[in-house]
């Protein structure tokens, strides 16, 4: 087998859960100002840090964000997306009056999100391991 994954330990679990997450802005409105994009990045970092989520890679594009994160098993991908979108939207609209006007009380993020798991070990390896345990 290849190199061992860097597993994370909590009180009762050893885990490695990585997600590729994409969220789009509502109506695909563009984040045009560098200051806004930087604030989005800072807020997302804070939101993730508060939930023990490690951002491995991230990019703020004009109309969406891309993230590769490592998250604890207690946090579902749906909850993670909800926290990131809800908190960042609230903070940004409170801080930036022009954003508040644009979205008039709505979230700045579109309703859905994309999420895929990213594994260190492929499915074939796991199947072979389980078979060998019989």
Residues 71, 17 contacting (CB under 8 angstroms): yes
Residue 58 has pLDDT above 50, yes or no: yes
Q: Which pLDDT band holds residue 2 (cuts at 50, 70, 90)? A: very low
Q: What is the pTM assigned to this prediction?
A: 0.82
Please tell me the CATH code under which domain 8-132 is placed.
3.30.70.1290
Q: Residues 113, 87, 21, CA angle at the centre, nearest 5°?
A: 25
In angstroms, the CA 91 to CA 95 distance is 6
Question: What pLDDT does 117 receive?
Answer: 92
DSSP 3-state of 4: coil
Burial class (CB in 10 A: 0-12, 13-18, 19+), 8: middle
Residue 106 has pLDDT above 50, yes or no: yes
Phi, psi of 123, deg, nearest 5: -60, -40
Domains of the chain by residue range? 8-132
Task: Give the percent of the chain with pLDDT over 90.
Answer: 55
Residue 121 has pLDDT above 80, yes or no: no
- Please identify which residue in the block is written with the tokens 């023990």: 52
């Amino acid at each position: 087998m290849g190199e061992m994954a860097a597993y994370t330990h909590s009180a009762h679990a050893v885990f490695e859960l990585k997600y590729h997450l994409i969220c789009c802005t509502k109506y695909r409105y563009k984040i045009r100002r560098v200051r806004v994009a930087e604030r989005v990045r800072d807020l997302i970092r804070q939101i993730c840090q508060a939930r023990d989520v490690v951002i491995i890679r991230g990019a703020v594009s004009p109309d969406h964000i891309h993230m590769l994160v490592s998250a604890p098993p207690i946090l579902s991908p749906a909850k993670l997306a909800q926290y990131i979108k809800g908190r960042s939207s609230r903070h940004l609209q409170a801080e930036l009056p022009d954003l508040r006007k644009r979205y008039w009380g709505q979230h700045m993020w579109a309703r859905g999100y994309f999420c895929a798991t990213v594994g260190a070990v492929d499915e074939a390896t796991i199947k072979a391991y389980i078979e060998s345990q019989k």
